Each structure stands twice: as C-alpha cells, then as structure tokens.
Amino acid sequence: MKHLLSIEELDAGTIHNLIHNAADLKARRGHHEKPLAGQTWSLIFTKSSTRTRVSFEVGIRELGGFPMFLSKNDIQLGRGEPIRDTARVLGRMTHGCIIRTFAQQDVVEFAQYSGIPTINALTDEEHPCQILADLLTIQEKLGSWEQKKIAFIGDGFSNMTISWMWAAKHLGFALHIGCPAAYAPPASFLATLDAPNVTITQEPAEAVNGAHVINTDVWISMGQEDQKEKELAFGPYQVNDALLAKAATDHIVLHCLPAYREKEITEQVLEAHAETIFQQAENRLHAQKAILVALAQQWAFSLS
C-alpha cells in the first residue's frame, strides 16, 4: 500500500490486515515499535477538525515521528499556490502527508506529484480513516461485521456513505441506507459500485429493521453550510428511540462526530450510546496508526 486515498481502492485483505494491526497496536499502546522514528509527516487541513487532527498528531508521535500541522492559511496553498507545487515541495522534505480538503482530485494529485505516502483525512467524496475506525469498533463490540445488518440513516451521498458503500462492496456485509430521495446515491454511482448487498430506501424504519449497527452523520457536511434547506428533507431521518425500537435487540449506534443533537440524533440516543461512540472516536488513533505503519514501511528501503 503506497497511499490511503479511499476505501474504494482498498481490497478485503488490506482492510482485514489494517483492522488486525490496529487492534494489535491498541493492545500494545506504549510498548510497540516506533517505525516513524526520524520521520516528519505533514498535515494539510483546509477544513476544521478535532478527532482527525488530534489522533494523527498523537499517533505520529507515538510511532516516533514528528507531526507538522499546516492549516491552509499557514501556507501558500491558501493564497492560491497549486496543490501540485505544494506537493513537489513537501515531497522533497517530508516523509508523508495527511490531507483534509474538498476535492478528492486534490488528494490524488498530491500523491502523484509528491511521491510520498499520502493519506486522505476527509474529502467531499470519502472519509476512509473514519470507516476503518468504525470497522474496528464493530469488531470490538459485535465480534465481526460478517452476517451483520448495518444501517446508515441520513445523507445518502456524503463522504461517509460513499466510503461505507465501498466498504460493503469489499467486505460483503448488508448495508441499508435510509435517506431522502433527493439525497440518495445517483444511479450512475450505484451502477459503478455494482454491490447487490447495498440497499437504498426512503423508509428509515425499513433500513433500521433488525439492524445490528445504526450509523448516522451530520445532515450538512463541511462546505455545505449554505445549503440549510437540506435540513427540511431530513426530519424523518433522525436517529431517535422510536426508530431504534425497530433495530436488533443487541444493536450499537455509531456517529463519526461532531454530532448535532436533536438534528440527526437525539440527545437521549447520543448519551445512551456515548460509550460506543467515544470508543469509536478513540479508535481513530489506533486505526490511523495501523495506516501510518503500513505506509512508513516503504521508507525502510529508501531514504531515512
């Protein structure tokens, strides 16, 4: 694995390995090797972040490396310097880069022009690090995602749902997305995905019926703040006690956070499932350390 740009480009074996290594790094936290010793990894963020930034900075340090956070306003990127020029500079000085931005193409272009391991820390199209942490959480809480029904209630075509759909394609679990028709994945995407185990419904109760995992996310993603009218379509798609009454008795609730209480999830549900949801947040650290270890290995054979 040279980069982590999307869940789409992963395969089942790679996902299984990353989750296995994440669980191992979690169990050995404070006692594992430091394969990033002597390395500097930059973090370029053009959107806000709490979990992703903190977990990467802590994770890089715990693996022996040095994290260098660069918000877009700190660097010339924010004044219009092209991503490919930024990439060619950082590629000559640093050992890897973690990018949070809008266009997926920018992350792809950075990887191409920098030549250094590049990690997608969220774009408008994918949030791969989050999905790996979510899978680790499901494994910890339910033993496995195999033979489980996973529901996603909310925006059917956001970075989170797109990454979940690719995860379902690779891993084969049943994914049921409950979303308004206007925010469903387009037919062209579903044709490309070609995953009969992914079901789209406008009935949230149908998606949650018998589900073991109920997932949600904000209705308005970063960068969509001027689309307030979106909220009008999402009222029936709130994760609340009435909806969860349809789920399997031993269900868990996941939320990538940040959460907007009484919008996509009620205060009551969030607090009732807080232990799982904040374990999910912590798992960002462990999952991303597994990604960093996998990507850092390529430096063992080149410059130090």
User: By the criterion CB under 6 A, which residues form the site for ligand CP?
Assistant: 49-52, 122, 130, 256-257
127 is catalytic: yes
Question: 204 preceded by cis ω (within 30°)?
Answer: no
Q: Which is nearer to ligand NVA, 95 or 255 (CB)?
A: 255
Residue 218 makes contact with ligand NVA by CB under 6 A: yes
124 is catalytic: no
Phi, psi of 212 (to 5 degrees): -90, -25
Least spacing, CB of residue 124 vs ligand NVA, in Å: 7
Least spacing, CB of residue 62 vs ligand NVA, in Å: 22
Residue 158 makes contact with ligand NVA by CB under 6 A: yes
Pair 241, 268: CB distance under 8 Å: yes
In the list ligand CP, ligand NVA, none, the entry touching 193 (Cβ below 5 to 8 angstroms by class) is none
Tokens of 174: 């049943």
256 is catalytic: yes
Least spacing, CB of residue 281 vs ligand NVA, in Å: 10
Nearest alpha-carbon partner for 110 in 6, 3, 36: 3
Q: What is the DSSP letter of 145?
A: S
Pair 285, 29: CB distance under 8 Å: no
Q: Which is nearer to ligand CP, 43 or 269 (CB)?
A: 43
Q: Which is nearer to ligand NVA, 39 or 158 (CB)?
A: 158
85 is catalytic: no
Q: Which of 3, 51, 95, 100 is catalytic?
A: 100
Phi, psi of 184 (to 5 degrees): -90, 160
What is the C-alpha to C-alpha distance for residues 239 and 248, in angstroms, rounded to an integer?
14
Q: Which residues pair with 201 in a beta bridge?
A: 178
250 is catalytic: no
Where in the sequence numbering do the catalytic residues fall? 100, 127, 130, 217, 256, 284
